[in-house]
Structure 1
Amino acid sequence: MNSFHHACHVLNITTTNGIWHSQNPLVESLPLLITQLAVVLFFARSLFFILKPLHQPLFVTDILVTVMTLETVAHMALDFYIFLVGLEMDITSIKGADKRELGVAAAGIVIPMSMGNCGCCFWGLTLTVTGFPVVARILSKLKLVHSDIGRMAIINDFCSWILVAILLPTRTSSPENALYAITATIAFILICICIVRPTLVKIFHQTSCIDSEYYLCFVLIGAVICSFVTDLCGTYPVNGAFVFGIIIPNKELRSVLIERFQDLVSGIMLPLFFAICGMRINVHAVNNWLWAGLVVILLCVCKILTTYSVCFFTDLPSRDSFALGVLMNTKGILAVVVLNIGWDKKVLHVEEYTVMVVALLIMTSIVGPTISAMYKTSTRIGKYEGRTIQRTKPTDEIRILTCIHSIHNVSGMINLLSISNAAKNSPLSVFALQLVELTGRASPMLIVHSSGKTSISMYGRSHNSDSNIIINAFENLETHNPVAFSVQSLTSLSPFFTMHEDVCILAENKRVAFMILPFHKQAMLDDEVVLRDKASSDSSFHDVNMNILANAPCSVGILVDRGLKHPHRDLYRLEMMFIGGPDDREALAYAWRMSGQKLVELKVVRFLSRYNVKENKKLSPEVKREIKLDNEYVQEFRLKTTGEQNVSYSEKVVDNGEETVAQLRAMDHKMFDLYVVGRQVVESPVTAGLVDWNDNCQEIGVTGDLLVSSSFVNGSVLVVQQYAGATTASGDASVAWLTGSGSVHSSVHNIEPL
C-alpha cells in the first residue's frame, strides 16, 4: 500500500522582502538576528567604553550586557527622570502653606481617591496624582508659578507623592511587610534630611567649582544609591530618586543638572519606558467604548468639581477655583508608574490598563488650552494696583527693581541707588535682576541667589564671572549700609520676546514701586559724549525696554549712564527739567527724594508754554485739571523745600522747541552730574519741532533724547515714566495738554501703540 507524506515548506524564513512588502520583518529569522546582534553589540561596546577607565576587559562587559534588558534601561531612565522632577520642585511653597491650601490639597486627594473601589486602588491613585513636570511647564509658560494657583498645584502634587509612597505598599503586600516598608521609608527620609543634606551643604560650600564633571557624577551616583535603598525598604526606587532630588541644597547646581541631563533623560532614555507602556496597550481589547468614554468623563469631572467646591467655600475666586480643578487633571509620569505597578501586580488587565492610559491622555491634553484661555499675561498685568514714588509716603519703604543687561550697567545703577536717600526711617529694598537671554531648548527659569554665595552659570565661565561680579557689587551696597538697604539678587533666564513678562510679573509679586532699566545703548567718553551700540543685541534690549514701558505695573526709570560718580565724597549736583504731565510729576518726586541727602544739590527748572499762560481760558476742562495738578504739586514742592540751601527753583517761558534748546545751551551743564526728566513721547509746545530729528523719542521721550543727543550735556540722564494706572482719570487730558490744545486726538498719532 502506497503511503504519501506531506511536507510544508515555509517561505522567507531567513530573508525578508523589506518593511514595505512584509507585515513584520522581525518575524523572519535573519532580520531578527541582525537586530538582536545590533542591540547587544551596541550595549556591549557602550558599557566597555564606560568601564574603560576602570581597566575592565571586554569579557566583563559581555557578561554584564546580558543582564541589561530593555526594561532595565527603561526603569533606570525613569529613576533619573524622577530625580530631575525632584530637582525642579520648589518645596519652599509648601513650607509656608496655610490651612486653606492644605485643605484644598487634601480634598483634591481624598475625594477622588474614594472614587476608586476597594478592589482596585490603582484607579483611585491614578485619578488622584498629578504630573508636576507638566503642571510646572504650564504654569511657567503662563507666568503663574508664583501665584496662589501655582502654589496650590505644587502642594497637591507633593501630597500625591506622599500618598503613593504610603498607600501602595499597604495594598500590594502583607500588613507586616507594609509596616516595615513604611517605617523604613520614613527612616530613610529622615536620614536624608538630617544627615545627607547637611553633608551636601558642607561639601558644596567648600568649593566654587561645583559645576565640574566630578560633582555632577557624584550627584548622579547618589541618586542611584537612594533609588536602590528605597527598593530595599520595600517601596519603589522612584521614591528614593525623588527624595534625593529634593534635598539637593544648591539651586545653581540644580539648574546645571537639569540643563545637562534633561535632554538625555527625557529625549533619549525615557522613551524606552513609554515604549514598554505602549506595548501593553491594546485598543482592540476594549469591549465597550461607550463605557470607556463614560469613565473618562467621570475621571475629568470628578477632579474639577471636587477642587472647585472646596475652593469655593474657602473664598477663592471662581475662576481660580475652576482653573485649579483643571490643573489637577494634569497627569504625568507618576500616574503611569502607578498603572505599571498595577500591571506588574496582576491587578490591572489589558482592558483596564488601556482605558486608563487613554483617560490620562485626554485629561492632560485639555489642560493646556483651557488654562491658556483663562489666564492671559496681558490681562493679568493690566489689572494691577499702581505704585508710584509720588504716592509713597516719606517714611515708607520703597521697593526698587533694577534690571541689569551687562556688567557695564552695574556702576551707574549702584551710584543712582546711593543718592536715592535711603535711611533707617525710609529704607530701600532693592531687587537686582540680571537679564540673560535664553537660547537652545532650556526652560525659562528665575534663579534667586543666596547671600554670600557665588553663582553657577550654565553659559560659560565668562558669564559666570560677570554674574558673580554683579551679585557681589549689589551685596556690598547692603553691607556698607545694612540699615538703609536690603538687596536680593536674582537672574532671569528667558528669551527676549518674553523677557518683559518675567520682569513685570516679578515687579508685581515683589510689590515694586519703581523700576530702573538701563538704556539700550552705552555712553562712551572720548572728546565728547556719544552713544555707541554695545552689541548686536541692542535692538532686542530696546524691544524689551519698550515692552516693559508698555506693561509695567509700577513707575519706570530709564538710566542713560555717562559715568555716574559715587556721591560719598564730592557734592552731587542734579537738575530736574519740569515740563508737565504725570511723568514729570513722578520725575520731580524722585528728584525731591534724592535732595533729602546732604551731599545732593537739586535744581528744578520749569519750562512753561507761553500759549498755556496767555490762552488759559480756551483750554478744555480736562487740560485745565492737568495743569492744576502740575501747579499744585510744584507749589507743594516749593513750600516744603523753602529754606533748604541745596534746593533751587526757577521758571522759563518759551514758545517752541527752538527756544527750549536755546535756553538749555545758555545753562552751565558742566556742573550737573545727573538730569531727571519725565518721559513724554508726544510733542508739547515746549518741545515743538524736536520730534522729527530725534531717534530715541519712543524709548526716552523728546526731552530725554534732547539731553542724550546734545553735545553740550555731559551728565547722565534718568528718564521717568509714571505708572499709567495712577492717572487713569486724567491720562487722556495729559496728552491733550501736551499738545497745547483741548483736542485729545490731535497728537494720538505720535504715540507708539502699546
Structure 2
Amino acid sequence: MASEANATNSIPELACYNTTFDPNNIIWRSDNVIADRVPLLSIQIAYNILVSSFFHHILKPFNLPLTVAQMLGGVLLSSSFLGRIPGVFESVYRPEGILTVETFANVGIMYYVFLSGLEMNCDTILRSSRQAIIIAVASIFIPALVGAGFLALERNLAGESSIALSARGYVFWCAILSVTSFPVLARLLSDLKILYTRLGKDALTAAMLIDTFGWILFSLLIPFSHEGGKPLLSVMCTLMFILFCFCVVRPILARVIEHRMGSESWNSSKLLDVMIGLFVCSYITDLIGAHHVVGAFVYGLILPSGKFADIMLDMLHDFVTAFIVPVYFASFGFRLNLEALWSQSHSVLLPIFMVFLLAIPKILSSLLVTFYYGMSLRDGVGLGLLLNTKGLMAVILISIAWDKSFLDPYSFTIMILAILFMTTAASPFINAIYKPNLRFKQTQQRTVQKLWCEAELRVAACVHNAHQAHGMIHILEATNATRTSPLHVSVLHLVELTRHGTGLLVAQMDNSNVQGGSSESQYGSQTEFETICNAFNEFVEEYNAVRFDTSGIVATYDTIHQDIYNVTEEKRANLILLPFHKELSSGDMETVNTTFGDINQNVLQAPPCSVGILVNRGLRSLSKVTMSTIVIFIGGPDDREALSIAWRMAAHSATKLHVIRLLVSGTEVEEEKAFQSDSSGVLSTKMDSVMQKELDDEHIFHFRHKGSYNNDTITYSETEVEVETGEEIPLILNEIDKPGCDLYILGQGSGKNFTVFQRLLEWCDNPELGVMGDIIASTSFGTHSSLLVVQQYTIERKSKPRCGKKCHSNEIDQML
C-alpha cells in the first residue's frame, strides 16, 4: 500500500478526475467520446509526432536511433519539464485524455511488435554460431546477476525513505538490464556502416538471440506479475498457444500465402485480412493471462519471410514507426518524476553514478567473451556498447513494473535515464573507439604493385547481378592464381535498401561468408544470389588455387560505398573490382542503372585499397580463347598499378600482353601552378613531378628486364607523342586499336599531369574512367574491346568531386 501511495503522490494531478456520463451514449457509457476525446487525441498525436520529428532531425547527424528521439519526446512531457509551465501541459494532456491516448498507444504498439516479429528470421536464430550463442548467454545472465547487486546498492544508498522492493521488482529490474533491442541495433549498425563487419555481425546475431530470450522471459514474467490468479496455468497455456501457432498455424499460413504470392492475387484488402490474425492472437494471449503484445509478436514470427513480409513492412512500417510509436513513448513521460532523484537525503551525484554503473554489466560480459575468443579489447568494448542498446521491450517492461508498483518513482526514473543513456551513448562511443576510417589510413600496402610475388591476391568483387558476376570471373581467371600465389575472392552482392525494415538486412547478413554457394535467403534477391554463388562455384572447381566467400550488402545506394569500404577492410583486400553501369546488349552498350555509376564514383573517393572498374564487352573464359591485352602507360601511380595487374595476368598461358608507353610532350599542370606558388611550393611541386617520373622509369625498367625479356607473350614499345589540343588523343588511340585486342588496362589518372587532359576531363561522360578510359568506353570510339580502369590506393589521394560536362575550372583543379 505504501508503494502505491507513493506512486500516486508522485503525480497527484493525473491520478483522479471528474467526468460526466451522457445517458444517451449507450455504447461507451461515458461522456461524448467523439466530441470531447477525439479532438484532444488528435492534438496529442500531432504534438508527439512533431516533438519526436524535431529531436530526430537534430540527432540524425549523430547517427542516433529514432528511439532516442521518441524517448526524449516522452521525457519532455514529464512533470519536470512541461509540467512546470502553467497551462501548457494541461492544454495538451488533460487528465481526462490520458486514458484515451494510452488506449490508442497500447493498440498501436501491437502493430509495432507484430512488425518486429515479422522482421526476425527463425532460421537465422536456429543457425546461430556457437560464438554468438555464448555472447548472448553472457550478455543475459551477467547483467542479470550484477544488476540485482546494483539495485541492492541503490536501495542502501537511497536510505530509509525509499520503498522496500519485492522479489518481482528485482526480477523486472534485471530483465530490463538483460534485454537488447534487435530492430534498433540493426538500424544503428546500418547507420554506422559497420553492419557487415565482424563486430556488426556478432552484435546483430547476439542481439537477435537476446531479443528472442527477452520475449520468452516476457511471456513468463507477465502471468506472475498479476495479483492472485494461477500464473503456472497461464504460463503453460501461453507455451501451448505458441507451440500450436508454430506447429499448426504457421504451415497453413505458409501454404496459403505462398499460393497467393505465386498467383500474384494479392491486393490491399487481402493483405488487411491477414491483420485479423494479429487481433485474434493478441486477444488469446491476453485472455490466458499473458500480455497482448506476446500474441502480436508470435503472429509476426510465424508469418513467412520474403516478398510477403516486404509488402507488409512497406505498407505498415512508416505509419507505425512515425505515427504510433511516439504516442506510446509519450505515455511513460506521465510517470517520469525527476524531482524524485534529488528529493532524497543523499547526494545529487548518486543518480548520475548509478546511471553510468548500469551500463557496465553488458560491457563486462562482452569483454569476458571476447577475451575468451582472443578478440581485441576495442571489439569487446564496442560489442558491449552495442548490446546495451535498448528499445521498446525495455520500455514495456519498466512500464509494467511501474503499473504493478514493483518500482518506486526513484528506481523507475533512474532506469528510464539509464535506458536513454545506454541507447544514446552507443553511437558516439563506437565512432570514438572503433574508428573504421582510422583503420583504413593505417594500411598503406593495399596495392597490387606492393604485393609480394608469392603473396595471396585478395580481391573484393562487387556485383549487382549474375551477368556482372560472369564478367568479373573472366577477369579474375586471367590473374593467374597458382598454389604459390593463390587468389581469394570476396564476392559482394550489392542490394538496394528501399525501406527502413531490418528483415532484408538480416537476410543478407545471413548470406555473408557463404562457402559453396548455398543460400537460405527468402527475399527477392535469392535467385540472383544463388546464381552468383553457382557461377563462382564453377570457377573454384576449375582452379584449385582460388577460394571465395560471398557477402550480401544491403544499404541505400547513397551510402553503400561505406559498407564496401568496411567489408573490404575486413577482408584485407588488395583490389576492389566494380562493374561499369553499362552492359553489352544487342551489340551496343546500354545503361543498366545510372546509380551504379554514382556508386563507382563514391567508391573512388577514399577507398582502403586499389580500385578497378570493369567495362565488359563480352569477355570469354580463358579455357576457350586466348586473351590479348594492351596497357597504355603514360605515367603516375594509377598507370603503375595497371601495369602491375597486367604483368600478373601475363603469367597465364592463355594471355598475350602488349605494353605501349606514350612519352607525352606538352604543357604540364604543375608548371602552370608553379608560377602561382611561392618558392617552397614550386620546389615541392617540381620534386614531386621528378619523383613520379623516376618511379615510372624504375617500374618500366623492372617490367622490361623481369617481364618482357623472359616471356615471349609480352611485348613492349615506346612512342613519343606531342599532345597540345586534345584532338590527337583519339587519333593515337585509333592507331593503337587497329590490330585489335580483347582487353585494355588503363590507369584512371593517365595523363592527368598534362593541361590538355585536364581540359578534356570537362567533357567526359564518365569521369570515373578518366580521359582515355572514357574515350575507349564510348560507343563512338567503335572498339569491341573490354576495358579495366585502375586507380591505385595512395594515402595522399584527395577526394574527387563528381564532375559533369560543365565543371568549373577550379573543380577540375581539385579533381586533378
Give the alignment's TM-score, normalised by structure 2: 0.65
**Structure 1 CA distance, aligned partners of 2:662 and 2:212?**
66
**Structure 2 CA distance, aligned partners of 1:34 and 1:429?**
69
**Structure 1 CA distance, aligned partners of 2:118 and 2:364?**
32
Check if 1:347 corresponds to 2:406.
yes
Which stretch shows the higher mean deviation, 554-563 or 624-633? 624-633
- Aligned residues: CA RMSD: 5.3
Aligned partner of 2:602 in structure 1 is 547
Check if 1:705 corresponds to 2:739.
no
Aligned partner of 1:136 in structure 2 is 186
Task: Specify whether residues 660 and 273 from structure 1 end up closer, same or farther in structure 2 by C-alpha distance, changes over 3 A only.
Answer: closer
Task: Specify whether residues 109 and 702 from structure 1 end up closer, same or farther in structure 2 by C-alpha distance, changes over 3 A only.
Answer: farther
Aligned length: 661
Aligned partner of 2:110 in structure 1 is 79
**Structure 1 CA distance, aligned partners of 2:36 and 2:522?**
40
Q: 1:521, CA displacement in angstroms? A: 6.2
Aligned partner of 2:4 in structure 1 is none
Task: Specify whether residues 639 and 495 from structure 1 end up closer, same or farther in structure 2 by C-alpha distance, changes over 3 A only.
Answer: same
Aligned partner of 2:316 in structure 1 is 261
SS at structure 1 position matched to 2:629:
strand
Q: 1:203, CA displacement in angstroms? A: 6.8
8 Å Cα contact 1:656/1:688 also seen in 2: no
**Structure 1 CA distance, aligned partners of 2:19 and 2:208?**
44
Aligned partner of 2:707 in structure 1 is 637
> Deviation per CA, 1:675-732, whole angstroms, max 9, x where unpaired?
1112226635xx673332233485223442353457364423210123336xx8xx89
Task: Specify whether residues 489 and 152 from structure 1 end up closer, same or farther in structure 2 by C-alpha distance, changes over 3 A only.
Answer: closer
Q: 1:652, CA displacement in angstroms? A: 0.8
**Structure 2 CA distance, aligned partners of 1:127 and 1:254?**
30
Q: 1:548, CA displacement in angstroms? A: 0.6
SS at structure 2 position matched to 1:77:
helix
**Structure 2 CA distance, aligned partners of 1:393 and 1:512?**
16
8 Å Cα contact 1:571/1:601 also seen in 2: yes
> Deviation per CA, 1:332-363, whole angstroms, max 9, x where unpaired?
21122112322343434566545644554455
Which stretch shows the higher mean deviation, 441-450 or 160-169? 441-450
Task: Specify whether residues 138 and 290 from structure 1 end up closer, same or farther in structure 2 by C-alpha distance, changes over 3 A only.
Answer: farther
8 Å Cα contact 2:629/2:656 also seen in 1: yes
Aligned partner of 2:142 in structure 1 is 107
Task: Specify whether residues 156 and 280 from structure 1 end up closer, same or farther in structure 2 by C-alpha distance, changes over 3 A only.
Answer: same
Task: Specify whether residues 227 and 567 from structure 1 end up closer, same or farther in structure 2 by C-alpha distance, changes over 3 A only.
Answer: farther
Check if 1:505 corresponds to 2:566.
yes
Aligned partner of 2:94 in structure 1 is none
Aligned partner of 1:588 in structure 2 is 643
SS at structure 2 position matched to 1:701:
helix
Gaps of 5+ in 2: 1-15, 42-98, 153-164, 512-516, 667-686, 799-809
8 Å Cα contact 2:139/2:362 also seen in 1: yes
Q: 1:386, CA displacement in angstroms? A: 5.2
SS at structure 2 position matched to 1:144:
coil
Q: 1:330, CA displacement in angstroms? A: 3.5
**Structure 2 CA distance, aligned partners of 1:246 and 1:221?**
15
**Structure 2 CA distance, aligned partners of 1:455 and 1:363?**
32
**Structure 2 CA distance, aligned partners of 1:723 and 1:387?**
7
Identity %: 27
1:576 to 624, 627, 631: 631
Task: Specify whether residues 339 and 488 from structure 1 end up closer, same or farther in structure 2 by C-alpha distance, changes over 3 A only.
Answer: same
Gaps of 5+ in 1: 1-23, 44-67, 458-463, 612-616, 733-747
> Deviation per CA, 1:301-336, whole angstroms, max 9, x where unpaired?
123333444555654655555544544553321122
Q: 1:142, CA displacement in angstroms? A: 0.7
Aligned partner of 1:402 in structure 2 is 462
**Structure 2 CA distance, aligned partners of 1:244 and 1:233?**
16
1:162 to 183, 203, 213: 213
> Deviation per CA, 1:477-529, whole angstroms, max 9, x where unpaired?
34755614867474634052x23212222333455443232345678999xx8
> Deviation per CA, 1:81-138, whole angstroms, max 9, x where unpaired?
2232234456559534255675455433431243234622233333443333333322
Q: 1:556, CA displacement in angstroms? A: 1.4
Q: 1:619, CA displacement in angstroms? A: 8.8
Q: Within 5 A, what are the aligned runs for 1:47-126?
A: 74-89=105-120, 91=124, 94-97=128-131, 99=134, 102-103=137-138, 106-117=141-152, 119=166, 120-121=169-170, 122-126=172-176
SS at structure 2 position matched to 1:689:
helix
Task: Specify whether residues 381 and 241 from structure 1 end up closer, same or farther in structure 2 by C-alpha distance, changes over 3 A only.
Answer: farther
Aligned partner of 2:611 in structure 1 is 556
Matching residue's letter, 2:768 = E
Task: Specify whether residues 77 and 295 from structure 1 end up closer, same or farther in structure 2 by C-alpha distance, changes over 3 A only.
Answer: farther
**Structure 1 CA distance, aligned partners of 2:701 and 2:343?**
78
Aligned partner of 2:390 in structure 1 is 331
Task: Specify whether residues 296 and 691 from structure 1 end up closer, same or farther in structure 2 by C-alpha distance, changes over 3 A only.
Answer: same
Task: Specify whether residues 179 and 629 from structure 1 end up closer, same or farther in structure 2 by C-alpha distance, changes over 3 A only.
Answer: farther
Which stretch shows the higher mean deviation, 201-210 or 573-582? 201-210
Aligned partner of 1:679 in structure 2 is 748
**Structure 2 CA distance, aligned partners of 1:143 and 1:600?**
39
Task: Specify whether residues 359 and 663 from structure 1 end up closer, same or farther in structure 2 by C-alpha distance, changes over 3 A only.
Answer: closer
Aligned partner of 1:54 in structure 2 is none
Q: 1:186, CA displacement in angstroms? A: 5.9
Matching residue's letter, 1:514 = L
**Structure 2 CA distance, aligned partners of 1:512 and 1:252?**
34
SS at structure 2 position matched to 1:86:
helix
Aligned partner of 2:759 in structure 1 is 692
8 Å Cα contact 2:760/2:771 also seen in 1: no
**Structure 2 CA distance, aligned partners of 1:189 and 1:96?**
26
Task: Specify whether residues 634 and 103 from structure 1 end up closer, same or farther in structure 2 by C-alpha distance, changes over 3 A only.
Answer: farther
8 Å Cα contact 1:224/1:241 also seen in 2: yes
8 Å Cα contact 1:129/1:331 also seen in 2: yes
Check if 1:300 corresponds to 2:355.
yes
Q: 1:180, CA displacement in angstroms? A: 5.1
**Structure 2 CA distance, aligned partners of 1:343 and 1:584?**
68
Matching residue's letter, 1:673 = D
SS at structure 2 position matched to 1:671:
coil
Aligned partner of 2:7 in structure 1 is none
Give the alignment's TM-score, normalised by structure 1: 0.69
Matching residue's letter, 1:123 = W
2:554 to 489, 492, 510: 492
Which stretch shows the higher mean deviation, 706-715 or 416-425? 416-425
SS at structure 2 position matched to 1:501:
helix
**Structure 2 CA distance, aligned partners of 1:511 and 1:224?**
50
> Deviation per CA, 1:618-670, whole angstroms, max 9, x where unpaired?
99677645643443245333366x25xxx231221425446876654433536
Matching residue's letter, 1:301 = F
Aligned partner of 1:651 in structure 2 is 717
SS at structure 2 position matched to 1:717:
strand
SS at structure 2 position matched to 1:719:
strand
Q: Which has the higher contact order (CA 8 A, sep 6+)?
A: 2
8 Å Cα contact 1:81/1:265 also seen in 2: yes
8 Å Cα contact 1:142/1:377 also seen in 2: no
SS at structure 1 position matched to 2:758:
coil
Aligned partner of 2:682 in structure 1 is none
**Structure 2 CA distance, aligned partners of 1:379 and 1:417?**
30
**Structure 1 CA distance, aligned partners of 2:276 and 2:570?**
38
Aligned partner of 1:516 in structure 2 is 577
**Structure 1 CA distance, aligned partners of 2:248 and 2:574?**
43
Task: Specify whether residues 475 and 139 from structure 1 end up closer, same or farther in structure 2 by C-alpha distance, changes over 3 A only.
Answer: closer
8 Å Cα contact 1:518/1:560 also seen in 2: yes
Check if 1:718 corresponds to 2:771.
no
**Structure 1 CA distance, aligned partners of 2:276 and 2:688?**
80
Matching residue's letter, 2:781 = S
1:431 to 468, 485, 491: 491
> Deviation per CA, 1:277-316, whole angstroms, max 9, x where unpaired?
4444566787817869656424421233334445556546
**Structure 2 CA distance, aligned partners of 1:354 and 1:294?**
14
